[in-house]
A = this chain, B = another copy of it.
Amino acid sequence: MRRTPARRPTMKDIARRAGVSESAVSFALNGRPGVSDATRERVRQVAEQLGWQPSTAARALSGEGAATVGLVLARPARTLGVESFFLQLVSGVQEVLADRRLGLLFQMAEDIDAECAVYRRWWAERRVDGLLVVDPRADDPRPALLDELGLPAVVIGAPDGDGGTHGAISTLWADDTGAMASIVGHLHALGHRRVTHVAGLPELAHTRRRMACLRTEAERRGLPDVTSVTTDYSDAQGAEATRRLLSGPQPPTAIVYDNDVMAVAGLAVAAEHGVSVPGELSIVAWDDSVLCRSTHPALTALTRDTPAFGRQAAHLLTALLAGEPPTRVQAPTPRLTTRESTSRA
């Protein structure tokens, strides 16, 4: 029993209802001169009554842009859907975009090359006005590509040593160094001397910054047994790294994990090995989440307001789209929330 689909209201419908010519409607709705204020107001009222909206395609062809921003997430498929970070980030982004009637085109990609290919295609098809770029990395090819394509973008998390030399790219960076220093300080104060950092993907800029800070802090405090190992962020590699560490000749007394999922996996491995947490092993998770609060013992973790981070990134992008110059903004530093998984060594 299919009904005839509703017909989208056209400028002709508005002209008929408002009792004016079609060109008057066009002038009024496009904000061009040639009609009186009274007519303009009347046309706008009728358009609203009829639920008229400019077609996104028509707007795009008239040079107003696609009213859409893009976000590509390139992570190994096996690690997707694991962290809560991205959906929380996107929920914040969308609050801001929805207010401005901007759509979000979302794409997953297998790797950085596939991500660059998506940007080229979106650009060629004129699908997006700007981009939110995540997971900046060492030798990142994306800023130069976006500059070449002339696509405004906000990079979330700063690439190493990049001071904003690219055309229309703003940066929202987080202080990973300060955050890692607060973790090392906490563990050092509790008497821990053998600390291992189970890090994420080695090619990501923030992984490198965290590892560099760990080394610096360890040297500064005279701790020789402090190291990092890298993983793909998955629970499987987090568990495997923990198994290796706990079976070694000198197991660490504290482990810092680069995300919540690996920390939870590490906690389960400790239980398997009969290693009590925090009695024999302290655990800290980057990226606090519902997971960190749900385990027993609950995990000490770095807490940040991820939806607010997303909102801030979206605001930077809408400013760029409005023609404001690129900028570089620091997000609030995550704070350490101390729970039951850390205690004296």
Contacts and interface: CB of A to CB of B under 8 A. Distances in A.
Given A53-B125, A87-B86, A268-B295, A105 B108 contact: no
Contact of A294 (B5, B85, B148, B265): B265
Interface in A103-133: 103-108, 120-127
The number of chain A residues touching the other chain, given as a range, is 35 or more
A91 interface: yes
B261 A56 contact: no
Contacts of A58: 57, 61
Interface stretch (A75-83, A192-200, A219-227): A75-83
Contacts of A307: 77
A77 B88 CA distance: 9
A54 B125 contact: yes
Given A5-B150, A167-B3, A88 B98 contact: no
Nearest to A126: B55
A149 interface: yes
Contacts of A68: 105
Contacts of A289: 82
A124 B53 contact: yes
A267 B296 contact: yes
A323 interface: no
Contact of A148 (B6, B103, B267, B268): B6
Count of this chain's copies in the oligomeric assembly: 2
A301 interface: no
A51 interface: yes
Contacts of A167: 2-3, 5
A177 interface: no
B105 A103 contact: yes
A49 to B, nearest CB: 13
A153 to B, nearest CB: 12
A20 B134 CA distance: 43
A66 to B, nearest CB: 7
Given A295-B268, A296-B272, A80 B88 contact: yes
A84 B291 CA distance: 12
B57 A61 contact: yes
A81 B86 contact: yes
B77 A81 contact: no
B52 A294 contact: no
Contacts of A261: 290-291, 294
Listed from nearest, the 5 A-B pairs whose CB atoms lie closest are A5-B150, A57-B60, A81-B87, A53-B124, A271-B296
11 contacts: A2-B147, A5-B167, A6-B148, A6-B149, A6-B150, A55-B61, A55-B125, A77-B91, A90-B106, A264-B295, A267-B296
